[in-house]
Amino acid sequence: MLSFDPLSYPYPSRRNLVYAAHGMAASSHPLATEAGLRILRSGGNAVDAALAVAAALTVLDPANCGPGGDCFAIVQQRGAKLFGLNSSGFSPALFDKEAVTARGYDAVPFDGWLPVTVPGAPAAWCALNRRFGSLPLTEVFAPAVELSEGYALSPDNADILNLNSAEIAGLTPQHPELDEWFSLFNPERKRFRAGELYALPDLGRTLQEIARTGGESFYRGALADEMSRYSAASGGLLRQEDLAAYEPRWVAPIHTRYRGCDVWELPPNGQGLTALMALNILERFQYTGRDDPRTLHLQMEALKLAFSDALHEIADPAYMRRTIGELLSRDYAAERSHLISPSAQIYAPGRPQGSDTVYFCTADSDGNMVSMIQSLYRNFGSRVVVPGTGICLQDRGACFSMQDGHVNMAAPRKYPYHTIIPGFLTKDSAPVGPFGIMGGYMQPQAHVQFLMNMLDFGLNPQAALDAPRFCWQQGLEVYMESAFSDETVAALRERGHEIRIVDDRTYGRGQAIFRTSDGTLCGATEPRADGCVLGY
């Protein structure tokens, strides 16, 4: 057989926009996209298709999402407003700052039981199915269940499995509860290759159980009992009472106007507000070119300003000190924009007056569109696996602060600052379509860059996803993909930015589906991963 590196692409590769007349799905894995298209072709609507993609991705990309994680969605119905669903979980009743320090930590760790919050994804799937679905969840999840019986590993996910196998093996002496991870994801403790068959039958059975019971088993039945029992036996804080108390929250999406379009995000505890604050600042400037060092400098500074406020103010809405209206005020954006100088700066939070992952989207012929994102946070989340269930639990609690008085301070039954954000674009009150780009704190930064690529510089959605990205890290430190020119990087360094060049497959897994003026659909997908958009 031929031998080659499935992760090496030394020459530029081009993707074209995909057009379709009736329905479309876009995700970070071809088989997940195919699952969504299969449901559309069988008579399902855009929500049914999104749920098929969601379930399939738990099998195909288990490092980034699963029933043990969270989920956010924006749903647009034909002739109706946008509906938002925040299905992030809260911390267990036994969790607080003292519970963390009692185990010798000064910050909530990423691994083990401490960062585990109540999973919200299954509740989201069931709530969306009940409110908008046209097919039973058992039918919608059927493609995912079939995939759980065996599929060929993608290059990205074979690599992720190998990296995590090595890392978790080194953690098990301090975290013996992580050893169960191998029973589910790598029972032979082998090195995986792209293209080899891989199966997750326990996860398939759990997806069937969630679909059959409408989520009841997960929160108040057999699966809840198993999670609670294992948590109590292995040092966890999660209990059956925490699971039984959980319900997802329907919320009104928030928006700002940018270059004649309305950009929609979900309100806190998610960080979508960060992108909107940055856009408010950036709209006050004019730009001469997408790759102009001045343009990139202004983008970096606006995002740093937005993050300085977001990381100080965004939290569980019940704990926030500032309103969304205050943070999105045009007067406040003007005040903050005046702080930007020709040189890179570090910003303090202002005082406004008066906050790893998979993203996917779908659309159908009736005018329905879905923007949806789900996550375990870091690769495989907490790495805690509940034996026999296929459930790997998220580590979203690591986003809590341990600082006394901070709005996001660790506390019982509290929602942490959350990074996953679905986006949606409208113009003149008509839907343009869903978009999103995953990647932790990269997400609002990627939203801003993607939108400006289209609205300021006239790129089509695929070119807007293809374009090189940067990611502010902390202080003056910014990571930039190597596709930026040496001259651009040098000019930014002269302005004081501390630039580090990273591989071009580093930042984001984005998707977008937009409705054209002809009433057809136009889709774009991520070149940095296994992205795929299909329509019919």
Residue length, the chain? 536
Counts for the chain of helices (H) and strands (E), in that order: 19, 21
Reading the block at residue 459, the tokens are 């790129």
User: What is the rounded CA–CA span in Å between residue 480 and residue 486?
Assistant: 11
Of 88, 164, 159, which Cα lies nearest the Cα of 379? 164
User: What is the rounded CA–CA span in Å between residue 347 and residue 307?
Assistant: 9
Neighbour tally for 99: CB within 10 Å: 17
The DSSP-derived string for 372-428 is EEEE-SSTTTT-EEETTTTEEE--GGGGSB-STT-TTB--TT-PPPB----EEEEET
Single out the catalytic residue among 33, 117, 357, 362. Answer: 357
Neighbour tally for 422: CB within 10 Å: 30
Reading the block at residue 382, the tokens are 């907490």
Region for residue 53 given its phi and psi (left: phi exceeds 0; alpha: psi -120 to 50; beta: otherwise): alpha
User: What is the rounded CA–CA span in Å between residue 95 and residue 409?
Assistant: 11
Instruction: List Cα–Cα distances, 529 to 141, 248, 359, 473, in angstroms.
Output: 24, 30, 12, 22
8 Å CB contact between 514 and 436 = no
Coil, helix or strand at residue 433: strand
Reading the block at residue 241, the tokens are 């009472």
In the annotation, is 357 catalytic?
yes
User: What is the rounded CA–CA span in Å between residue 319 and residue 416?
Assistant: 10
Neighbour tally for 34: CB within 10 Å: 19
Task: Mention every residue, 6+ apart, whose C-beta is less than 8 A from residue 308.
Answer: 347, 348, 349, 350
Strands 498-502 and 477-481: parallel
Neighbour tally for 196: CB within 10 Å: 10
Residue 335 CA, distance from chain mean position: 30
User: What is the rounded CA–CA span in Å between residue 206 and residue 212?
Assistant: 10
| Beta pairing partners, 373 | 72, 359
Beta strand segments in 154-246, E? 197-198
Single-letter code of the amino acid located at 354: G
Helix or strand (DSSP H, E) at 254: strand 254-258
Q: Where are the alpha helices (DSSP H) in 10-120?
A: 30-41, 46-60, 97-101
Active site residues: 357
